[in-house]
């Protein structure tokens, strides 16, 4: 098992210091109250996302007054004290073919490949390239602030910001499009991942006692109506392999090379289903090399 794929608790090792407990609930989470004290077992273990959604409070969004990323602690802290920051732990968990910086004890990821759940594309990650892979907070920190986190202490906010349940390595551009949006304003373009995406949001909000807005509740409910048996994920589990994009209808080209690669059709040759000259930049008859 890869280092970053180990089941990490929300309490984590730091949680025993920050939250006053070392216990984890059934889903590997130790939900806490606004003061950082344990409020009970993790909500949702073994349940469907629809069932857990029904337990979430529904109310309006609080003001964003006072929100700042610094309110959630230092970015990518080493909360589990394994010598690697959270960002590198998530990269190790979600990438394949990782290459590490020598002398970092397999900690600092230099290169790897991501099967991106948000777009369905395969992305080559290289450290220092800020336009390839981001680590997304599935429940965005700005959204969390406006649905309850404004009342927490820094310890609990730091736990949320570094919880592997709430983190995914994803396509940079998709993450920037999402921003601080909730399910009512943004869903992954890869429709095959939407059920798992909102189920993860439900799991995080249930574990931390966050609420959902009426529009957010309805958007999640609409997605889950098409997959009523979707379970809430266990903590820290990597995103499932994205569903392959369907091949286009006969005579219809792929929208772009990312769609062709996601469908396993690249490279495309002139005459192949889905080929178009728009994707064949050099005009040599082979697109999406």
Structure tokens at 78: 């080493």
| Coil vs helix vs strand at 127 | coil
Q: Give dist(CA 91, CA 108) in Å, integer.
A: 9
Q: Give dist(CA 173, CA 288) in Å, integer.
A: 19
| Coil vs helix vs strand at 113 | strand
Give the tens place of pLDDT for each residue, 52-93.
999 999 999 999 999 999 999 988 988 888 889 999 999 999
Give the tens place of pLDDT for each residue, 179-197.
999 999 999 999 999 999 9
Q: What's the confidence (pLDDT) of residue 246?
A: 56
Which residues in the chain land under pLDDT 50? Answer: 4-42, 237-243
Task: Quickly count: other Cβ atoms within 10 Å of residue 151's Cβ.
Answer: 12
Q: Give dist(CA 161, CA 171) in Å, integer.
A: 19
Q: Shortest CA distance to 24 belongs to which of 4, 35, 8, 5? A: 8
| Coil vs helix vs strand at 273 | coil
């Amino acid at each position: 098992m890869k280092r970053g794929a180990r089941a990490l608790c929300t309490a984590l090792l730091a949680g025993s210091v920050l939250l006053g407990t070392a216990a984890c609930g059934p889903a590997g989470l130790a939900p806490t109250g606004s003061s950082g004290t344990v409020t009970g077992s993790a909500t949702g273990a073994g349940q469907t996302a629809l069932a857990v959604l029904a337990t979430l409070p529904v109310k309006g969004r609080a003001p964003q007054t006072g929100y700042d990323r610094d309110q959630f602690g230092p970015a990518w802290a080493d909360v589990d004290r394994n010598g690697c920051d959270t960002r590198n732990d998530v990269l190790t968990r979600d990438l394949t073919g990782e290459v590490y910086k020598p002398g970092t004890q397999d900690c600092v990821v230099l290169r790897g490949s991501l099967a991106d759940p948000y777009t369905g594309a395969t992305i080559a990650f290289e450290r220092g390239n800020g336009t390839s892979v981001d680590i997304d907070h599935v429940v965005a920190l700005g959204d969390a602030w406006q649905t309850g986190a404004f009342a927490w202490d820094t310890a609990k906010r730091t736990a949320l910001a570094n919880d592997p349940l709430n983190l995914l390595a994803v396509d940079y551009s998709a993450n920037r499009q999402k921003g601080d949006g909730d399910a009512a304003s943004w869903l992954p373009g890869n429709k095959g991942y939407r059920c798992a995406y909102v189920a993860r949001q439900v799991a995080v909000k249930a574990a931390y006692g966050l609420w959902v807005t009426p529009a957010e509740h309805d958007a999640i409910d609409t997605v889950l109506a098409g997959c009523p048996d979707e379970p809430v994920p266990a903590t820290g589990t990597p995103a499932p392999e994205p569903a392959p994009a369907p091949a286009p209808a006969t005579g219809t080209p792929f929208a772009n090379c990312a769609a062709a690669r996601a469908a396993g059709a690249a490279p495309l040759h002139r005459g192949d289903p889905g080929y178009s000259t728009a994707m064949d930049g050099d005009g040599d008859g082979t697109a999406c090399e």
